[in-house]
Amino acid sequence: MVDFSKFESICPYTDEEAVEALSKVADNPLVIQVSRYFFPDKEPEFLKNLLKSVRSVDEFQILVMTKVVDWVIKHTAKEFTYDGVEHIDPSKKFLAMSNHRDIILDPALTQLVLYDNKIPMTEIAVGDNLLTNPFIEYLIRSNRMIKV
């Protein structure tokens, strides 16, 4: 029998772990600046309050990450297109690969496409070299990312 406890330090967070981690993120002073940037029409505490209200990984991805990725597309690209999603059977396992243009944005865009097409979002592998501080690790592991 496999002892999965030895993988706890690299696994994506459970809902309970994500709630705890996102509460810590919400208390970081940088969150106010991030909120002003991505949600300029909202009060400065908007993102902090949103992060503290999240109760699951799904909620975090839907309420926060899809909004942030939509903002990035709207403000940095003339157009965002994709194809082939109709070939994904949500009841079966699949592997999505990118050409590694941007190690964080590529999977974020993939997750958004899956969400927009009512396909369950995936787990994503991320190198531990990107986890430069606890703030980043909390966000990444709350977003279904596996540390490799």
Alpha-carbon gap, residue 148 to 124, rounded angstroms: 10
Structure-token match 């309050």, residue found: 49
- DSSP H helical ranges for 43-104: 46-53, 57-59, 66-76
Q: Are 147 and 129 in contact (CB under 8 A)?
A: no
Alpha-carbon gap, residue 139 to 13, rounded angstroms: 10
Summarize pLDDT for 84-109 with one digit per residue, the tens: 999 999 899 888 877 767 778 888 99
pLDDT of 24: 97
Which tokens belong to 78?
Answer: 């003339």
What single letter denotes the amino acid at residue 17? Answer: E
Element (H, E) at 111: helix 105-116
For residue 73, CA distances in Å to 26, 62, 129 come to 24, 16, 26
Which tokens belong to 10?
Answer: 């690299």
- pTM greater than the 0.85 cutoff: yes
Summarize pLDDT for 57-80 with one digit per residue, the tens: 999 999 999 999 999 999 999 999
Alpha-carbon gap, residue 63 to 91, rounded angstroms: 24
* More reliable by pLDDT, 44 or 8: 44
